[in-house]
Amino acid sequence: MTAALFEKLGGEAAVDTAVDIFYRKVLADDRISHFFDDIDMEIQATKQKAFLTMAFGGPNHYTGKDMREGHAHLRARGLDDAMSTPWWKTLRRH
């Protein structure tokens, strides 16, 4: 992916807005909100913004875990791939 995609999507402002809306929706979804009970959502949103910026090919400093490692303890608590679908649908809408 190239920086062009990141810019085409609206750059930093668009990623910021999308992630903020995204977590508002996630926390309103009883099927997955409980995974975030002990999570500092400000830190989480910052990590997600950096991760998506990297994924879209923008300038980034993502230093977090890879997705398999970052969610391993959540899988142990019942998180499965089917639960990720609403996340992606939400992102596509913005």
Residue 77 CB, shortest distance to ligand HEM, in Å, is 9
Query: Nearer Cβ to ligand HEM, position 13 or 69?
Result: 69
Nearer to ligand HEM, 2 or 84 (CB): 84
Residues that bind ligand HEM (CB under 6 A): 32, 35-36, 39, 44, 47-48, 51, 64-65, 67, 70-71, 74, 79, 83-84, 87
53 and 62 Cβ atoms separated by less than 8 Å: yes
CB of 84 to ligand HEM, least distance (A): 4
CA distance 73 to 77: 7
Q: Which is nearer to ligand HEM, 8 or 65 (CB)?
A: 65
- Which two three-digit tokens encode residue 50? 């950096």
**41-55 and 11-27 helices, crossing angle to 10°:** 130
Residues 6+ positions from 12 with CB-CB distance below 8 Å: 53, 58
Give the residue nearest to ligand HEM (CB): 64
